[in-house]
């Protein structure tokens, strides 16, 4: 009798231990699944992978054909990716939206910084960045083009800054070169006053007036 009771107690203990082990395993798997299946891990992304995400998450509005040369209603929209893996990022990605001007000179186009807007996003809500007010235009027959780019990570410096490879008057997006691989998307806007660009492509000029020099960051 005593032997039977001992065996029963041993069987009960073993069953309880097995149940606890299964419960622990289930909790562990659920926790892992919540971490990898619920959001998209971007912790070890390369610059190219960051650029690919930005490319599908950023859109330019009001800049297509230059019919509104003031760009007062133009914006850069950062939202959830439109294609591919659209899950929210597990950690927000730093995104910079930056504006420059290129001014025609007797040698090569001269670049000037206008504005940079920094934000962080995980793709769960839409962020809208308006174009800076008072974008510079050509004065005294000067040809000026505006460049806007959205890219991941820290602000561009030194050799990572854009450069123009074509004639400023006829250049398109493909004529702008970046050495940084984390550039998601960029657009070279049509001239606000196309006549100066077409009439004289090599008019010397100082840095454009009216450009701002400030940097704003919004988490």
pLDDT digits (tens, 9 = 90+) for 148-177: 999 999 999 998 999 998 888 889 999 999
- Domain match, 149 and 83 both: yes
Alpha-carbon gap, residue 154 to 118, rounded angstroms: 9
Residues 28 and 55 in one domain: no
pLDDT at 30: 33
Co-location of 22 and 119 in the same domain: no
- Residue position matching structure tokens 């007797």: 106
How sure is the predictor about 114, in pLDDT bands with cuts at 50, 70 and 90? very high
CA angle 148, 219, 50 (to 5 degrees): 55
- 67/121 same-domain check: yes
Same domain, 7 and 56: no
Both 88 and 4 in one domain: the answer is no
Domain count, the chain: 2
Higher pLDDT: 128 or 43? It is 128
Lookup result for tokens 């007062």: 72
Q: Which range among 112-121, 152-161, 164-173, 200-209 shows the weakest confidence by mean pLDDT?
A: 200-209
Q: What is the pLDDT of residue 34?
A: 35
Q: Note whether 64 and 111 are same-domain residues.
A: yes
Structural domain for 4, as ranges = 1-38
Burial 173-209 (b: 16+ CB within 10 A, else e): eeebebebebbbbbbbbbbbbeebbeeeeebebeebe
Per-chain mean pLDDT for the chain: 77
Per-residue model confidence as pLDDT tens digits over 8-39 = 455 554 555 444 444 444 433 333 333 446 89
Q: Are residues 23 and 126 in the same domain?
A: no
**What's the rounded mean pLDDT across residues 72-77?**
90
pLDDT at position 193, please? 63
pLDDT band for position 195 (50/70/90)? Answer: low
Is residue 74 domain-shared with residue 6, that is, in the same domain?
no
As a whole number of angstroms, the distance between CA 60 and CA 132 comes to: 14
């Amino acid at each position: 009798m005593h032997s039977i009771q001992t065996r029963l107690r041993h069987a009960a203990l073993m069953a309880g231990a097995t149940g606890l082990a299964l419960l622990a395993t289930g909790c562990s798997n659920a926790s892992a699944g919540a971490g990898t299946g619920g959001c998209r891990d971007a912790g070890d992304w390369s610059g190219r992978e960051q650029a690919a995400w930005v490319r599908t998450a950023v859109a330019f509005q009001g800049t297509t054909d230059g019919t509104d040369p003031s760009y007062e209603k133009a914006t850069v929209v950062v939202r959830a990716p439109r294609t591919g893996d659209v899950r929210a990022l597990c950690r927000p990605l730093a995104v910079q939206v930056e504006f420059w001007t290129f001014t025609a000179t007797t040698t090569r186009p001269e670049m000037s910084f206008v504005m940079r807007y920094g934000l962080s996003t995980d793709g769960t809500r839409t962020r809208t960045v308006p174009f800076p007010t008072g974008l510079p235009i050509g004065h005294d027959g000067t040809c000026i083009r505006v460049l806007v780019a959205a890219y991941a990570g820290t602000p561009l410096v030194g050799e990572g800054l854009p450069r123009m490879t074509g004639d400023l008057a006829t250049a398109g997006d493909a004529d702008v070169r970046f050495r940084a691989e984390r550039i998601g998307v960029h657009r070279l806007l049509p001239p606000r006053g196309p006549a100066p660009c077409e009439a004289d492509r090599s008019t010397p000029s100082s840095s454009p007036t009216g450009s701002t020099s400030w940097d704003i960051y919004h988490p």
